[in-house]
Each structure stands twice: as structure tokens, then as C-alpha cells.
Amino acid sequence: METLNIAILGCGTVGGGVARIITDINNDLALRAKKKINIKKIVELDPQNAAERFGLPLDLFCGKSKKLTPAEAQKYIREIISSEEIDLVVETIGGKSDFAYNTCLEVLNSGKHLVTANKALLAERGNAIFEAAGTRNLKIGFEAAVCGAIPIIKTINESFTGDKILSISGILNGTSNYIMTQMQSKRLGFVEALKLAQEQGYAEADPSLDINGGDAGHKLILLVKLAFGMNITMEELSITGIENITMEDIDFANEIDARIKLICYTKKINGEIFATVKPMLVKNSNFLAKVDDATNAVRVNNKYSGVHFLVGKGAGSSETAMSIVSDIVFIARYGEKIACAPVVTEKNLADVRRFVFPYLITFNTGNIPGTTGFITTAIGKQDINIETVSHNRYSGEKAMFSLATMPCTLEQIEKAIDEIRKEKPGMLLSEPKILPILY
């Protein structure tokens, strides 16, 4: 039986999980891959600790029991890249640094396949990496970069090649979903829910990328590239996180039979591609509203086959590692038959302000008679139909209420708000909060 020799760069949570799976079920993987998958080298700064943590032989590690300095680790990585014995490199270093970027390029330029879970690197600096793979007819496996154990990349790349994707919406960040679940089911404030997520291991000490939408944005960029053949930068993508979601927002959502989720959304309409990451009020009739805790879910709407849901764990050592191992097996078995990289053909990213959605608009105003009527009239003047208006919530001289619109654009809503400010300068006490409603 032929052998596929691999090297693993980084043996932390994910890299160690990869090594453990390959060691544990090596014979099964060989039958599936039609090749024996052999771990030739592992580069890790603390080999002894990694070997004990994942039950791996020390002989697999460069330097064996000796702790490596960064310079020594880089020397071993260069040796791996130049080695003719290594067929495929697994990159689990992480991050979008020049070192990670150059390492991936050097792996491909040396004639080796690459498998990675590095969504930030591929989303923000991946064009040259995909181009290098395509030029040399090498393969990049990146299933683990989006939604961990959920096979969304292979589903789009293979299962839906006979169809046309119309839209994708989903919960692609488990941390934010866990936080929103705790806020809505246990009535916890945002800070309290975040602290619980950190205690449970769902959020890092610095949770910024999870709660500000950045992590979900990286994943959406990759899905847009695959589904619609378009490159989007983080600067071009409209992203809003969950940091400013309040109990009042949750109460207003309950009034219209919805739950708040951080949603990744992309849709192609008349040649234009819309893409955004935002908290949305997901109607309870939509399956995504029922996806709680740290679970991820993706809803794909196709022209011919209709709606599909993929649900599962989006993070974790075993879950992410399993996706990496699946890519290794796939490359080992099918090699040159695999499409090299996403084909980029589209360039028309639409202005998010022209998104047509129903919206929930929340107003903070003075407690003055006639305010609600004036605001609803101003909204109507912009040809926006109103579906429902909530009860006012009073606090001394202040009032708060929300209204749900029928489908319209943000441009229309912004014009209405501008007119309200122009005609009644002191009426709005703060910037109205505008959240899309997803049916």
C-alpha cells in the first residue's frame, strides 16, 4: 500500500487532536484513503507536554523531549518544507501573521499539499495561497476553517455542484450563540452571559473576535467565495456584533415571536451579491431560531433542491481535528481529481443599505404624547409598511418602543430617521437600533 507522509505544524488543541485521531484509527483511515497515512514529523514548542496530553510517541516530535525555541521550531519547519519525503503539511499554528502566511506559501511552493483550519489567514490573505495551489495543481483542505465538524465546504464544493445556490444564512460562531442563548433563556445580562461562556470554556480570555462578529465574518468570506465566486475583504463586509444587545431587545423580539441570533447572511440577486454579519431577529418558524448554546447551523437555499440545514459542533479539539483528518483522507484518495481552489468570477458586492429585509426599529424618545404617531407617520412617508408597533416602555421622562416593518431597505429607514430629526430635533434621545428580521 502506498504511503502519504504528513507533517503537523503546531500540536495544540487542534494539531494534537489530528495526531491522536490518525494514531488511534490509522488502519481504518488507510482503508478509506487507499493509502497509509503516516505522521512523519510534528513541530511543537513543548513536545513533552504535547506527547503526554495527546498520548503520542515522543519520537514523532522534532527535538523529541527538548523544549524548542521559536528559532529552533522555524529551523525544523524549514527542514520539513524542503524535505522530499513529506507529501502534505497540516498547519495548525493559527493566526494571520507574516510567518503563518509565508509558511503556507512555502509549503505549496515546495510541492506539498496543505490542510489548515486557519480561517483568518484564508479569509484575509488567502488569495495568494489559493493561487499558489492552483498554479501547482496542489490541494488545500480547509473544511475545518468553517464550522468545525459540519461539512459545509464539501457540501458546497461537491454535493451542490448540480444546483444553484440562492442564499446562505447561518449561525457560524458558537460563542456568540451560547451568550445569546443564556441571555434569552436565563435572562442574563450580556456581561454576565459572557463571563459564564468563559467559565464554561466557550469564550477566550479575549473574546473580541467572537462577540464583535469578526470570527463569523472570516467564515462568511470563505462561504461567499465558494458559493458565489467572489472575493470580499473584511473592510468591505458589513459586520455588527452582539455587544450592544440588551434585555429590551430580547423582549421586543419575544413580542414578534422571534429570537436574536448572530447571523451570517449572503444572497445573490440579479447579479448582485449581498453579504453581512449582524444580530437578527429570527422568527421561531425558522429552524435557526431553535439552534441554541454553542451549536452551529447553516441554512442553504438552492434553486432546484430547496432548503437544506447542516447542524453540528462548530469548534473543539476532536470536532475540528476530525475535519482536518477528513481533508487528509480525501486528498490521499482523490488527489488530482479534486478541484484546486474556488473559482473567482464575481465582482459586484451590493451596498448593504439596499438589503431588502423586514426590520425591527427601536426608538428611545421623550415621554411626550403623539410621539409614536409622528414616528410611524414619518416611516410611512418613505413607503415603508408597518407590520406591528410594540407597547411603550416608560421610565420617568423617557419612553421606548419598537416597530416591525414589512420588507424595505435601510436607505428608506435612514431617510425616515433623518426627517424625524429634521422636523423634531429633540424627539430621538439616541440612535435608533435597527435589526433585520429573518423569516
Rounded distance between C-alpha atoms, residue 275 and residue 238, angstroms? 7
CA 79 – CA 97 distance, rounded (Å): 20
Compute the Cα dihedral for 194, 199, 200, 204 and give only its sign. positive
Interhelix angle 26-33/317-334, rounded to 10 degrees, is: 40
Q: How far is CA 144 from the centre of its chain?
A: 11
CA distance 52 to 58: 9
Indicate the SS3 state at residue 145.
Answer: helix
Rounded CA Rg of the chain: 24
Give the C-alpha separation, 266 to 306, whole Å.
16
423 C-beta neighbours (distance < 10 Å), count: 10
Residue tagged active-site, from 35, 112, 139, 219? 219
Kindly state the cell numbers that stand for 350. 451590493
- Across the beta sheet with 113-116, the strand order is 36-43, 3-9, 88-91, 113-116, 140-141
All residues at 6 or more sequence positions from 127 whose CB lies less than 8 Å from its CB, including other chains: 231
Q: Which residues are CB-neighbours of 251 under 8 A, at least 6 positions away?
A: none
In angstroms, the CA 271 to CA 25 distance is 46
261 is catalytic: no
Which sign, positive or negative, has the C-alpha torsion 130, 134, 140, 142?
A: positive
Which of 92, 101, 75 has the alpha carbon at shortest distance from 39?
Answer: 92
Task: Output the CA–CA distances (angstroms, integers) from residue 70 to 45, 76, 77, 207, 256, in the order listed.
Answer: 7, 10, 10, 26, 55
* Residues with catalytic function: 219
